[in-house]
Amino acid sequence: MRFTIKHHTRYAYNVPAILSPHDLRFYPRDDGCQRLLQHSLTVSPTPVGQTELIDAEGNRVLRVWFDQPADELAVTVEMVVETHRPNPYEFILEPQALSLPLDYGSEAALLSPYLARVGADPDVDAVAARLAAEAGDEPLRFLHLLNDFLYTGFQHQRRETGAPLPPGETLRRRHGPCRDMALLFMDCCRAQGIAARFASGYRHAQMPQEQHDLHAWPEVYLPGAGWRGFDPGHGEFIAGTHVTVASSATPAMTMPISGFYSGAGVSATLEYQLNVTSS
Is residue 58 domain-shared with residue 120, that is, in the same domain? Answer: no
**Alpha carbons 128 and 116: distance in angstroms, whole number:** 15
pLDDT surpassing 80 at residue 84 = yes
pLDDT for res 211 = 54
Q: 205 vs 43, which has greater pLDDT?
A: 43
Compute the average pLDDT of residues 235-257.
Answer: 96
pLDDT for res 156 = 87
The model's pLDDT over 39-77, given as tens digits with 9 standing for 90+, comes to: 999 999 999 999 999 999 999 999 999 999 999 999 999
Asked whether residue 8 is assigned to any structural domain, the reply reads: yes
pLDDT bin (cut points 50, 70, 90) of residue 237 is: very high
Q: Are 220 and 194 in contact (CB under 8 A)?
A: yes
Please give the mean pLDDT across all residues of the chain.
Answer: 94
Residues 6+ apart with CB under 8 A from 6: 76, 77, 78, 273, 274, 275
Asked whether residue 262 is assigned to any structural domain, the reply reads: yes
Is residue 113 domain-shared with residue 227, that is, in the same domain? Answer: yes
- DSSP-assigned beta bridge partners for residue 81: 3, 36
Is residue 130 domain-shared with residue 228, that is, in the same domain? Answer: yes
pLDDT bin (cut points 50, 70, 90) of residue 158 is: confident
Reduced to 3 states (helix: H, G, I; strand: E, B; else coil), residue 217 is: strand
**CA distances to 4, 179, 202, 240, 252 from 7, in Å:** 10, 19, 10, 20, 20
Q: In what order do the strands lie in the sheet with 60-65?
A: 49-54, 60-65, 22-24, 257-258
Compute the average pLDDT of residues 170-197.
Answer: 97
How many domains, the chain?
Answer: 2
Is residue 100 domain-shared with residue 219, that is, in the same domain? Answer: yes
Q: Are 244 and 29 in contact (CB under 8 A)?
A: yes
Task: For residue 70, give its domain range.
Answer: 2-84+256-278
